Amino acid sequence: MKDYRKDFPILDQDETIYFDNAATAQKPACVMEALTDYYSRSNANPLRGLYDWSLRATEVLETARQKAADLIGAAAKEEIIFTRNTTEALNLAAYSYALNHLKAGDEIAVCISEHHSNFLPWQMAAEKTGAVLRFLEPGPDGRLTAEEIRAKITPNCRLAAVAQVSNVLGRVQPVREIADRVHEVGAVLVVDGAQSVPHMAVDVQAMDADFFAFSGHKMMGPMGIGVLYGKQALLEKMPPFLRGGEMIEYVTKDSASWAELPHKFEAGTVNAADAAGLSAAIDYLAAVGYEEIRQRELALTRRLMGHLKEMPYVTVYGSEDPAEHCGIVTFNIEGCHPHDVASILNEDGIAIRAGHHCAQPLMQYLQINAACRASLYFYNTEAEVDRFAQSLKKVRGALGYGS
Ligand code: 7TS
């Protein structure tokens, strides 16, 4: 097996067992080099200057846009809007689309397991328009059933929002099936791809998403760039989200008209440096390959869940099948607060996430306050999984339990 860790300076220099990849992924050296290279050779304000450096910065930005379009199968690069992250992308869709297309009595269908970033924008849209939220509830295995999709996406639905992969349960949702129902009732579908793009091939046209959001930093890119994909016909009809430089066609004392897509939605100086990093991350991801990522993660998840099965005091949430976790395993240890578990593991140099995972409605649905989450990526190793299991076995003892 190739030792991917050598590509990641932080993993190569440090023994920390990093199992918080769903929060943010580590960066390979090529991504850092792309940032340094951009600032060393091409830095200028993109889209503005008529001199070489600015033209180069524009080219860097537009190359990244094409790569992002190709990565998710968008029909045209003009459908790719650069944002800071998934959160900003989803807010853009809520402020610009939902506030202008929804009215009192309409329904917004949201999955109960959504990250707050794909929840609060729709709560806001409901509050401001008088629309009503309806909640899709997954079965115990984390998946939305065909019956649930039909029941909750009613003829009054005008917008549905679901994550392709939950950041807590790791389950892949049947987004194409959801899209078919959403379109049958004349609504639009917003897909949160923050946890899918790092792990699996995505085709927005095949899934028929109307909007699709993801973050660069969760797929090994830099922290300051994300994407909102939108179908061109929808984006054309939407007003700008933020107003200012670079997004206008013409401005007078009391009116303005807007630039063409995608610039209408990219107000102010755009983030060409992180676009350079995102390009490098997309190339790196392609070089590793989604099939390799899937195989590595599956082997690691099987091993990790196998260890957990041997600990009778551990409850794992979601499916029992490691193949249905996308590398995310959320669990609790009987009698132990997740924060204590995470702190004890930290003493052994193991980084996991503990808390509500920005998914409090799901915590309420599962009738827990908090949970521990180990989230793996292809660069983790079997040895790390074994050390994690050894440490976990000590937790109850450290907290005063006999066994
Ligand atoms: N949607 C999902 C499904 C996520 O997992 C996250 C971040 C977001 C949206 C927001 O992404 P951002 O880049 O805008 O912050 N998830 C997590 C997590 O699970 N732990 O920390 C951040």
> Is pLDDT of 337 > 80?
yes
Phi then psi dihedrals of residue 354, to 5 deg: -135, 140
| CB distance 375 to ligand 1 below 6 Å | no
| Mean pLDDT, residues 321-338 taken together | 97
| CB distance 227 to ligand 1 below 6 Å | no
d(CA 239, CA 378): 40
d(CA 81, CA 276): 15
For the chain, what is the largest distance between any 2 Cα atoms, rounded to a whole number of angstroms? 76
Query: What is the share, in percent, of the chain residues with pLDDT greater than 70?
Result: 100
For domain 289-398, give its CATH number from 2.30.130.40, 3.40.50.720, 3.40.190.10, 3.90.1150.10: 3.90.1150.10
| CB distance 83 to ligand 1 below 6 Å | no
Overall residue count recorded for the chain in this entry: 403
| CB distance 162 to ligand 1 below 6 Å | no
d(CA 105, CA 127): 11
State the closest ligand 1 atom to the C-alpha of 117, by its place in the atom list counted from 1. 9
pLDDT the model gives residue 49: 82
The string of pLDDT tens digits covering residues 24-53 is: 999 999 999 999 999 999 999 999 889 999
Nearest to 228 by CA among 96, 80, 63: 80
State the closest ligand 1 atom to the C-alpha of 20, by its place in the atom list counted from 1. 20
| Mean pLDDT, residues 141-169 taken together | 98
In this structure, how many other beta carbons lie within 10 angstroms of the beta carbon of residue 217? 25
d(CA 293, CA 295): 6
Q: What separation in Å is there between the alpha carbon of 23 and the centre of ligand 1?
A: 6
Nearest to 82 by CA among 98, 99, 63: 63
Of 21, 87, 115, the residue with max ligand 1 atoms within 8 A of its CB, to mutate for a pocket test, comes to: 115
- Mean model confidence pLDDT for the chain: 97
In this structure, how many other beta carbons lie within 10 angstroms of the beta carbon of residue 371? 24
Positive/negative CA dihedral, 65, 66, 67, 73? positive
Helix (H, G, I), strand (E, B) or coil at 265: helix
What type of residue is 391?
S
Question: Which residues participate in catalysis according to the annotation?
Answer: 358
The string of pLDDT tens digits covering residues 350-375 is: 999 999 999 999 999 999 999 999 99
Task: Give the model's confidence band at 78: pLDDT under 50 very low, under 70 low, under 90 confident, else very high.
Answer: very high
Nearest to 159 by CA among 180, 127, 186, 194: 186
Asked if 30-285 and 289-398 have one fold, the answer is no
d(CA 155, CA 186): 8
| CB distance 167 to ligand 1 below 6 Å | yes
- Please report, for the chain, how many H helices and E strands are present, in that order: 15, 15
Q: Whose CA is nearest to atom 22 of ligand 1?
A: 23
What global pTM score does this model have?
Answer: 0.98
d(CA 304, CA 220): 23
Query: What is the share, in percent, of the chain residues with pLDDT greater than 90?
Result: 98
Q: What separation in Å is there between the alpha carbon of 202 and the centre of ligand 1?
A: 18
| CB distance 173 to ligand 1 below 6 Å | no
Q: What separation in Å is there between the alpha carbon of 48 and the centre of ligand 1?
A: 32
CATH code of the domain occupying 30-285: 3.40.640.10
pLDDT the model gives residue 403: 74
State the closest ligand 1 atom to the C-alpha of 375, by its place in the atom list counted from 1. 19
| CB distance 85 to ligand 1 below 6 Å | yes
Task: Give the model's confidence band at 236: pLDDT under 50 very low, under 70 low, under 90 confident, else very high.
Answer: very high
> Is pLDDT of 398 > 90?
yes
Q: What separation in Å is there between the alpha carbon of 91 and the centre of ligand 1?
A: 13
Task: Give the model's confidence band at 402: pLDDT under 50 very low, under 70 low, under 90 confident, else very high.
Answer: confident
In this structure, how many other beta carbons lie within 10 angstroms of the beta carbon of residue 312? 8
Q: What separation in Å is there between the alpha carbon of 88 and the centre of ligand 1?
A: 11
Q: What separation in Å is there between the alpha carbon of 166 and the centre of ligand 1?
A: 10
Rounded to 10°, the helix 29-41/272-288 angle is 150
Phi then psi dihedrals of residue 33, to 5 deg: -65, -35
> Is pLDDT of 103 > 80?
yes
d(CA 212, CA 179): 12
Helix (H, G, I), strand (E, B) or coil at 204: helix
> Is pLDDT of 391 > 80?
yes
pLDDT the model gives residue 16: 98
Of 18, 111, 117, the residue with max ligand 1 atoms within 8 A of its CB, to mutate for a pocket test, comes to: 117
| CB distance 391 to ligand 1 below 6 Å | no
Kind of pairing, strands 132-136 and 371-375? unpaired
Higher-pLDDT residue of 159 and 403 is 159
> Residue 262 has which token pair?
């995608």
Contacts of 57 (CB under 8 A, 6+ apart): 38, 42, 43, 44, 45, 46, 49, 272
| CB distance 381 to ligand 1 below 6 Å | no
> Residue 294 has which token pair?
């899937």
Q: What separation in Å is there between the alpha carbon of 114 and the centre of ligand 1?
A: 10
pLDDT the model gives residue 2: 84
> Is pLDDT of 317 > 90?
yes
| Mean pLDDT, residues 265-275 taken together | 97
Nearest to 27 by CA among 274, 197, 200: 274
Nearest to 116 by CA among 194, 188, 231: 194
Task: Give the model's confidence band at 401: pLDDT under 50 very low, under 70 low, under 90 confident, else very high.
Answer: very high
State the closest ligand 1 atom to the C-alpha of 373, by its place in the atom list counted from 1. 19
Domain positions in the chain are 30-285, 289-398
